[in-house]
Structure 1
Amino acid sequence: MALEFTLKSSSTHSTSQRQGCMIGLFWIGTNGAYLGIPSFAPTSGLALSPAGLQTLGPESRAWAWSELQDVKVIGVPAEPTLGERVESVVSGLLAFALGGTPGLRDMPDMMTVELGTAEGTIEIPVASGTSAYSRQETALSRTLLTRITQGTASPAVMTEWWNETRTSAILPSHERETVLQRWLAAQGTWRRPGSEGAVCGPTTTPPEPE
Structure 2
Amino acid sequence: MVGLFWIEGDVAYVGTPAVDPAPSVVLTPDGPRVRGSEPLEWSWGEVTDLRVPDAPVRSTAVRWAARAASFAVAALDAWVPEEPPEMTVVIAAGGVEVETSVYSGASVAYTQREVDLSLGLLARMVRGEFSPVVMSEWWRVNQPEKVLSSREREIVLEGWLAEEWLAEG
Q: TM-score, normalised by structure 1?
A: 0.71
- CA shift at 1:75, angstroms? 1.3
TM-score, with structure 2 as normaliser: 0.87
Q: Pairwise mapping of residues 139-150 of structure 1 onto structure 2 (< 5 A)? A: 139-150=116-127
Q: Which amino acid aligns with 1:132?
A: A
Q: Which sections of structure 2, spanning at least 5 residues, go unmatched?
A: none
The runs of at least 4 aligned residues of structure 1 exceeding 3 Å deviation read 80-88
**Match runs of 1:186-205 below 5 Å:** 186=163, 188=164, 190-191=166-167
Partner of 1:62: 41
1:40: how far off? 4.2
Q: Which amino acid aligns with 2:124?
A: R
Q: Is contact 1:152-1:192 (8 Å) kept?
A: no
Which residue of the partner structure matches residue 90 of structure 2?
Answer: 114
Q: Say if 1:185 and 1:62 are closer, same or farther in 2 by CA, change over 3 A.
A: same
2:15 alignment counterpart:
36
Residues 189, 37 of structure 1: CA spacing in aligned structure 2 closer, same or farther, 3 A cutoff? Answer: closer
| Distance apart, 1:168 and its partner CA | 4.8
Q: 1:75 aligns with which of 28, 45, 54?
A: 54
Displacement of 1:34: 0.6
Which residue number corresponds to residue 162 of structure 2?
Answer: 185
Distance 1:134 1:30 in 2: 25
Identity %: 35
Structure 1 unaligned spans of 5+: 1-21, 194-210
Q: How many residues align?
A: 168
Contact 1:35–1:46, Cα closer than 8 Å, also in 2: yes
Distance 1:106 1:183 in 2: 32
Instruction: Name the larger-Rg structure.
Output: 1
Whole-angstrom CA distance in 2 between matches of 1:63 and 1:177 = 28
